[in-house]
């Protein structure tokens, strides 16, 4: 089972990179399933119903979320019917589900979305909720477990990895939009602290630099926006799973203004 995971998609530039490259990646690399974090896919804040359908039409099979999952109100009634997973540790009764199970080549994979605590909205204890959910999934006989951990603090992400290595197949961090180079496979679990954004790479976290620089210089509020013209990047992880264990994993960075593709291989511990 070969899986692609695309880091935080930021607005139209990120969607355009997926439209341009995902089909070829799937064909060339024998990809069976595509997961993408889409909580910033609609102009940088949230995911609209229209843009969810757009990403699914490009070959994304499952969309994960984060703290901006509620920003576009038209997606909320569709969270159950579409293959969208919102953070598991929102209080019980919140719309949508924090885990969904998919079948690929007669094998099942559970996709879990988690959200951290540092600088994030109020949610239930992410470590306890994850522990409870993973136990339930394993009791159902599902071996392949993928986690998108949407968190600011690398310490929270690293703690999640050490808590559940040997127990889950993949833990990919999202939210900071800045890719890290700590890819590893340990105990059959793939880990990276943050995949990095897909979208404009020449601004600040995918946004035009004017507003954040104004905030830093003056402390005054300013509205974030996405540049209409920018240098774009697509950042994704490819993992190969067998019987619930990750056998191989690496990262690809694809640029819109270069012919080359950067590849970073996971270190095996």
Q: DSSP label at 256?
A: S
Tell me if residue 177 is catalytic: no
Locate 186 and state its tokens: 């340990």
Contact 127, 112 (CB under 8 A): no
Q: How many CB atoms lie within 10 A of CB 132?
A: 13
pLDDT of 5 reads: 98
Among positive and negative, which fits the CA dihedral 85, 131, 146, 41? positive
Locate 66 and state its tokens: 């984060």
Inter-helix orientation angle 126-139/154-164, to 10°: 30
Helix H or strand E segment including 201:
none
Q: Which residues touch 205 (CB under 8 Å, ≥6 apart)?
A: 10, 176, 177, 178, 197, 212
- Catalytic residue, chosen from 68, 150, 175, 177, is 68
Computed on alpha carbons and rounded to an integer, the radius of gyration of the chain in Å comes to 17
Q: pLDDT (tens digit, 0 to 9) for every residue of the chain, 269 residues total?
A: 999 999 999 999 999 999 999 999 999 999 999 999 999 999 999 999 999 999 999 999 999 999 999 999 999 999 999 999 999 999 989 999 999 999 998 999 999 999 999 999 999 999 999 999 999 999 999 999 999 999 999 999 999 999 999 999 999 999 999 999 999 999 999 999 999 999 999 999 999 899 999 999 999 988 899 988 899 999 999 999 999 999 999 999 999 987 778 899 988 87
| Structural domains present in the chain | 2-268 (3.60.21.10)
Distance CA 193, CA 177 (A): 11
Contact 65, 47 (CB under 8 A): yes
* Nearest residue to 45 via CA among 19, 67, 78: 67
With b meaning 16 or more CB within 10 Å and e meaning fewer, what string describes 118-130? eebeebbebbebb
The pTM (predicted TM-score) of the whole model is: 0.95
Specify burial of residue 154 (Cβ count, 10 A radius: 0-12, 13-18, 19+). Answer: middle
36: helix, strand or coil? strand
Locate 42 and state its tokens: 């609609």
Distance CA 47, CA 70 (A): 8
Q: Which residues touch 27 (CB under 8 Å, ≥6 apart)?
A: none
Contact 251, 185 (CB under 8 A): no
Q: Which residue in the block uniquely carries the two structure tokens 């540790």? A: 89
| Ordered alpha helix ranges (H), 109-153 | 126-139
Distance CA 212, CA 220 (A): 10
């Amino acid at each position: 089972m070969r899986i692609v995971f695309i880091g935080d998609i930021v607005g139209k530039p990120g969607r355009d990179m997926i439209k341009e490259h995902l089909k070829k990646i799937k064909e060339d690399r024998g990809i069976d399933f595509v997961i993408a974090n889409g909580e910033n896919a609609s102009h940088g804040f949230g995911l609209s119903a229209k843009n969810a359908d757009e990403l699914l039409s490009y070959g994304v099979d499952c969309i994960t979320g984060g703290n901006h999952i509620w920003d576009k109100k038209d997606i909320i009634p569709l969270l159950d019917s579409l293959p969208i997973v919102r953070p598991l540790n929102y209080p019980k009764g919140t719309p949508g589900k924090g885990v969904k199970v998919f079948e690929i080549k007669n094998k099942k994979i559970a996709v879990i979305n988690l959200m951290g605590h540092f600088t994030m909205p109020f949610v239930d204890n992410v470590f306890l909720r994850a522990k409870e959910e993973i136990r339930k999934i394993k009791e159902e006989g599902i071996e392949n477990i993928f986690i998108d951990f949407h968190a600011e603090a690398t310490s929270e992400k690293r703690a999640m990895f050490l808590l559940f290595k040997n127990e889950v197949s993949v833990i990919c961090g999202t939210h900071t939009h800045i890719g890290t180079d700590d890819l590893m496979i340990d105990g059959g679990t793939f880990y990276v602290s943050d995949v990095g954004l897909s979208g404009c790479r020449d601004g600040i976290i995918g946004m035009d630099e004017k507003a954040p620089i104004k905030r830093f210089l003056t402390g005054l509020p300013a509205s974030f926006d996405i540049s209409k013209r920018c240098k774009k990047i697509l950042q994704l992880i490819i993992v190969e799973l067998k019987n619930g264990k990750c056998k191989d994993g690496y990262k690809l960075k694809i640029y819109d203004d270069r012919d080359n593709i950067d590849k970073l291989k996971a270190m095996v511990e």
